[in-house]
Amino acid sequence: MSPEINYKAELVGVFGHPIAENPTIVMQEAGFRELGLNWRYLNIEVYPDDLAAAVQGLRAMNMQGINLTIPHKVAVLHYLDEVAEDAKLMGAVNTVRREGNRLIGENTDGKGFLRALRDDANIDPAGQNVVILGAGGAARAIGVELALAEAAHITIVNRSVQRGQDLTTLLEDKTPAQVAFVEWNGAYAIPAQTNIVVNASSIGLYPDITAKPDLDYDTITADMIVCDVIPNPPRTPFLKEAEARGARALDGLGMLVYQGAIAFKMWTGYDAPVEVMHQALAEVFKS
């Protein structure tokens, strides 16, 4: 066999349940095709009780890495050789990469958000005042990365007091940021000194696409940057309200593409073709 013949595909993918409708495959495979890489991304149905065996299988088949989605992001922490500091703080891993035989847990959700902020909105989070709506997984990831990137002050606004206080305490204890918690129990007025507002709640998620966070929208001003984590449809009613008041809007599709692009780079070593990946995912969400 000549030395350049290599029929072996490198494997990555996602473990989850349910998994059939997860669209990440479309952008990752578009990226592999664009760079001419013989890589495959597989949506793999893994039931909760089988996660340990699935990670063992990943090792046995020499897969290059994996994404984790519901319900495995927290449970997978038990089966890895190492977990990155930020993912440890969040208590959740959405991406596993390999270093030799070692499996390293990472979380690219918040990093994807930061990259959208930096690359698309040209904003450095250092020294900024931030309001985060929500305190679930997405809010934790974004809150931790913003705090580690030296955001000056973060206000967590959440309906469930316990969840909101847990995230506030985590950020206060483990990061340099100043943090406050506000219970979300009516139209929230955004403080005037706010620079960045993030809807990290699931309000507006498909199919409930007309829903929008309960805010006093007239407290949004033109000098704010307003961000949504909802990727589909990307132009949410929340972002439309913000734009109507002159604020700049950053959508959740960009964050979703960037978190995938960061995983792509961790796995392949190549810079991801973000435009191609963005286009591929936007097409899926249009249909």
Using rule CB under 6 A, residue 158 touches ligand NDP? yes
Distance CA 258, CA 111 (A): 8
In contact, 263 and 24? CB cutoff 8 Å: no
Dihedral sign from CA coordinates of 162, 167, 173, 178: negative
CB neighbourhood size of 199 (10 A): 27
Q: How far is the CB of 36 from ligand NDP (least distance, A)?
A: 27
Using rule CB under 6 A, residue 134 touches ligand NDP? yes
Using rule CB under 6 A, residue 259 touches ligand NDP? yes
Gyration radius of the chain's alpha carbons: 19
Site mask for ligand NDP (CB under 6 A), range 82-121, x = bound: ---------------------------x--x---------
Kindly give the pairing relationship between strand 95-99 and strand 65-68.
antiparallel
Q: Which stretch binds ligand NDP (CB under 6 A): 19-27, 46-54, 59-67, 252-260?
A: 252-260
Burial of 3 (0-12, 13-18, 19+ CB in 10 A): exposed
Using rule CB under 6 A, residue 255 touches ligand NDP? yes
Can 212 be counted among the known catalytic residues?
no
Residues 6 or more apart whose Cβ sits within 8 Å of residue 207: none
Q: How far is the CB of 56 from ligand NDP (least distance, A)?
A: 27
Distance CA 261, CA 241 (A): 29
Q: How far is the CB of 8 from ligand NDP (least distance, A)?
A: 31
Q: How far is the CB of 180 from ligand NDP (least distance, A)?
A: 16
Near ligand NDP in 212-241, by CB under 6 A? 229-231
Using rule CB under 6 A, residue 159 touches ligand NDP? yes
Residues that bind ligand NDP (CB under 6 A): 109, 112, 134-139, 158-160, 163, 184, 201-203, 205, 229-231, 252, 255-256, 259
Show which residues are catalytic: 73
